[in-house]
Amino acid sequence: MRVVVLLSAGRHPVSGRAILPPLEAQAIAMALALDPHCYGLHAGCTPDGVADAPGYGLPSLDLLTIDADVDPVPALAADLSKRKPDLIVAGRRGQGGNDTGLLPYALAEALHLPLLNDIVSAAQEDSDGMGRFEQALPKGAKRRVTMLLPAIVTVHPLAPAAAPFAYAKARRGTIEFREGPSGEAAPGLFETRSRRARPKLMRQADAESDGGGAAIIDPDPDDAARMIVDYLERLGVRRLRNEASRTTDHRD
């Protein structure tokens, strides 16, 4: 089985530095179990963040260099169409970088491939050209899915943990820079529309439902304190507190 891992440059939630998202490190571990010779693929202007991937055991990484404002989907789709991997593995969401988490879905649309989200395990079926996956469902449920390859899958956080980062592995890994297609920023699969002003919904004032209250502007401090106490008594808050105090005194 030929497996490729899609990589993106995330952002650390505290420092803001470029990192490899943890889900993609888990995707690398899953890909290595299926194909020891798997490789990573990234389209971007710099290797920041994704350059850490070899440290998690990825043998090689191909970086398609494109401008920062260019849609990466055409470059990735063109490369994958030539290599024709059996399985494309990606994280389920972005992590604060230029990624949005929608790229696997856009790529599946461009390549006309099926996509299975939130998988926690993957294996090759005995029958040729089939893959067996375990998919995470809401409320802790899981189900087994057998599907025809090639396909795209996204990894769930409940998948096996990533291997620890090792500098020796990082030195052994290779990064190949290749020129990606140039061009203007593509509009993508989603249409961009100008924001349309919407009327604001205001709740109708109702004296009975609001307790018959009135707005007091710049009241005297004593009057304000008295009104707050009266309001709490109407809500029953002060009464409950007094009852709790009497219960405590009775126990003492």
CATH 3.40.50.620 fits 3-179, yes or no: yes
Q: Is the pTM of this model over 0.75?
A: no
| Contacts of residue 219, Cβ cutoff 8 Å, sequence gap at least 6 | 227
Which residue bears the tokens 């998948």?
159
Residues in the chain: 252
pLDDT at res. 246: 58
The residue whose two tokens read 């696997």 is: 104
For Cα atoms 38, 77, 44, give the angle at the middle one, nearest 5 degrees.
Answer: 80
Amino acid identity, residue 212? G
Q: Is 44 helix (H, G, I), strand (E, B) or coil?
A: strand
CA-CA distance, 110 to 108, in Å (whole number)? 5
The Cα–Cα gap between 4 and 85 comes to: 7
Q: What angle do CA 200, 204, 208 make, to 5 degrees?
A: 160
Q: Give the pLDDT score at 106.
A: 93
**Who's near 138: CB < 8 A, 6+ residues apart?**
none
Domain boundaries, the chain: 3-179, 206-252
What confidence score (pLDDT) does residue 205 get? 44
- Among the residues of the chain, which ranges form H helices? 22-34, 72-83, 103-111, 167-172, 221-235, 237-251
Q: Single out the residue of 120, 85, 117, 86 nearest to residue 104, CA to CA.
A: 117
pLDDT attached to residue 2: 94
- The parts of the chain modelled with pLDDT lower than 50 are 184-192, 199, 201-210
pLDDT given for residue 27 in this prediction: 95
End-to-end CA distance of the chain: 75
pLDDT digits (tens, 9 = 90+) for 165-183: 898 888 888 889 888 776 5
Residue found by looking up tokens 């988490």 in the block: 101
Q: Which of helix, strand or coil describes residue 91? A: strand
